[in-house]
Chains A and B, each alone.
Chain A
Amino acid sequence: MGARGLIASRKGLFELGKTSSGWKLDLIGFEADPVSIVMHDARDDSLYAALNLGHFGVKLHRRNAQGEWQEIATPAYPPQEHRPEGEVEWKLKQIFSMAPGGAPGELWAGTMPGGLFHSLDHGQNWRLVESLWNHPLRREWFGGGTEVPAMHAICVDPRDSRRLLLGISCGGAWRSDDGGESWRVSARGMRADYMPPQQAEVEHVQDPHMIKQCRAQPDAFWCQHHNGIWRSIDDAQTWQQIHPHHSSGEKISDFGFAVAVHPANPDCAWFAPAIADMRRIPPDAALSVSRTRDGGRSFESLRLGLPQEHCYDLIYRHGLAVADDGETLLMGSTTGGLWLSEDGGDTWQSISHTLPPIYAVDFYRSRP
């Protein structure tokens, strides 16, 4: 079976599959409910969907390989006996990221207000990773676009699943080499223009909007940051800013939220540019995807098949994904646009322009 798309939206969970007559979109669950993130676990062909119900809070559901959905435990913060000034409420606001761990059934979940949770039993039980939550620098994280910090990226090293890299808005990037027992901030080289000059290079106040790791060459990471695009080729020890421009020298906007990284080629990445933080719309109201295939030395603006006038779609940080073939891309927008490319972004086809706001897209390959 080929790659299938998953679309988590404000009004339900959708799946996109290829049929003999083209790509077909289906609602597969949670009609009318906000689905904040979706994750497929290839190890047991299960699917996890996190809901953010307006009245009844955050919920987590698991679909087993037989296609049966079941509500499972929701990560929960421990009792907050005392709340010092400036401390966030220890209340789960949203599940913002999920990733499979190394052991069977092991899962990670990143949340608002910034807690990392760990499960060893397919999500039946969750434990707050207190080594990070109690780190003294964690209290200095702050919200970026939300009132509280948001853990949006969990990169599990394919060479050694004890090695984790997290992305937090706004808390920088954090590294563990021991399965979450200990942590260190790992955002050297990033720069925060929204901070006073004395604070601009402080690592734990950086705002990576999204961080993605190259699966085949895991020392390579790409980051769409609030203040531009960064890349690391030394396992996130240092980050280098990339200034995107065409081969002609013409500059391309470096503001945005999403990034996708080619699974085999660490020099190839895609971004979805907007004008700037205070003008979160596509440049010239025309949607494009920026692609580099040479490690950021040059970029192309890919537009064929994307709306080129009166387009105000923004691509959220989980709204752009590449399949394991490195050629099939899926992009979903805040205003319900969904586009697919089968040639690395050269051309796009519109799947729908009437979907609910799209929070996250991904690909998965179901077992035959």
Chain B
Amino acid sequence: MPRLIFTPQLQRFIAAPEVFSTACDLRGALDDAFADNPLLRNYILDEQNDLRPNVVIFIDGRRILSHKNWNQAITAESQIHIWQALSGG
């Protein structure tokens, strides 16, 4: 089952436990996480549903470059890290 792991830095602001998803792409996995925790969406995405400029996502250690398109396939074993970018300070 794909697993989403959020940066521990988020815990200062909002509960963000790991999420296990049944989705087969990144978009679906994020939707699962936000369905569980609606406030979390605004920390990761902006109001245009773009990834915030200083947040990065890795799938199995590979950085996702797009801030808009998340059709990347994931597998049942995928680990998705939603991390803070150093660009944000």
**Which A residues have a C-beta under 8 Å from some C-beta of B?**
53-57, 59, 71, 74, 76-80, 89-92
User: B39 touching A71 by the CB < 8 A rule?
Assistant: yes
Task: Please state if B48 and A56 are interface contacts (CB–CB under 8 Å).
Answer: no
CB of B71 within 8 Å of the partner chain: no
Is there an interface contact between A55 and B47, defined as CB atoms closer than 8 Å? no
Given contacts A55-B55, A80-B48, contact A74 B42 (CB under 8 A): yes
**Cβ of A92 and Cβ of B46 under 8 Å apart?**
yes
Least CB distance from A83 to B in Å reads: 10
Chain B's closest residue to A55 (CB) is B88
B40-78 residues with Cβ-Cβ distance < 8 A to A are: 42-44, 46-48, 50, 52, 54-55
Closest chain B residue to A93, Cβ basis: B46
Closest A residue, CB atoms, query B7: A55
Shortest CB–CB separation between residue A352 and chain B, in angstroms?
Answer: 23
Q: Which residues of B contact A90 (CB under 8 A)?
A: 47-48
Ordered by A's residue number, 16 sampled pairs between the chains whose C-beta atoms are within 8 Å are A53-B13, A55-B89, A56-B52, A56-B84, A57-B43, A57-B46, A57-B52, A59-B13, A71-B13, A71-B14, A77-B47, A78-B47, A79-B47, A79-B48, A91-B50, A92-B46
B39 near A55: Cβ-Cβ < 8 Å: no
B1 CB–A CB distance under 8 Å: no
Place the interface of chain B in its size category.
10 to 19
Residue numbers in B under 8 Å from A91 (CB-CB): 46-48, 50
- Which has the most chain B C-beta neighbours within 10 Å: A57, A71, A74, A91? A57
Bound together, the chains give a CA A3 to CA B51 distance in angstroms of: 42
Cβ contacts under 8 Å, B10 to chain A? 56
Cβ–Cβ contact A56 & B39, under 8 A = no
Query: Are A56 and B13 neighbours in the complex by a CB distance under 8 Å?
Result: yes
**A54-B88, A55-B52, A74-B42 known; A92 vs B9 contact (CB < 8 Å):** no
Q: In the assembly, what is the distance between CA of A91 and CA of B68, in Å?
A: 14
Instruction: Given A55-B9, A56-B10, check contact A92 B47 (CB 8 Å).
Output: yes
5 pairs of A and B residues whose beta carbons are closest in the complex:
A55-B88, A76-B47, A54-B89, A54-B88, A56-B43
Inter-chain CA distance A54–B43, complex, in Å, is: 11
Question: A53-B13, A55-B54, A71-B39 given as contacts; is B48 within 8 A of A89 (CB)?
Answer: yes
A91 to B84, CA, bound (A): 19
Residue of A nearest to B56 (CB): A55
19 additional A-B residue pairs with CB within 8 Å, beyond A55-B55, A71-B39, A92-B47 = A53-B13, A54-B54, A55-B9, A55-B52, A55-B54, A55-B84, A55-B85, A55-B89, A56-B10, A56-B84, A57-B42, A59-B42, A71-B14, A76-B47, A77-B47, A80-B48, A90-B47, A90-B48, A91-B48
Expressed in whole angstroms, the Cα–Cα distance for A77 and B49 within the complex equals 11
How long is the Cα–Cα vector from A229 to B87 in the complex, in angstroms? 38
Q: Are B55 and A56 in contact (CB under 8 A)?
A: yes
Closest to B86 in A: A55
Shortest CB–CB separation between residue B89 and chain A, in angstroms? 4
Closest to A80 in B: B48
Residues of A within 8 A of B9 (CB): 55
Write the chain A residue with the least CB distance to B54. A55
A54–B13 Cα gap in the complex (Å)?
13
A81 to B71, CA, bound (A): 20
Minimum CB–CB distance for A18 against chain B, Å: 32
Residue of A nearest to B84 (CB): A55
Contact flags B7-18 to A (C-beta < 8 A → 1, else 0): 001100110000
Cα A78 to Cα B52 in complex, Å, equals 16
Residue of A nearest to B14 (CB): A71
- Whole-angstrom distance between the Cβ of B35 and the nearest chain A Cβ: 18
Q: Which residue of B lies closest to A90 (CB)?
A: B48
Interface centre among A55, A71, A78, A80 (most CB of B within 10 A): A55
Contacts of A80 in B (CB 8 A): 48
Query: Which residues of B are found within 8 Å of A74, using beta-carbon distances?
Result: 42
B88 neighbours in A (Cβ, 8 Å): 54-55
CA distance A89 to B49 in the complex (A): 12
How far apart are the CA atoms of A78 and B47 in the complex, in Å? 7
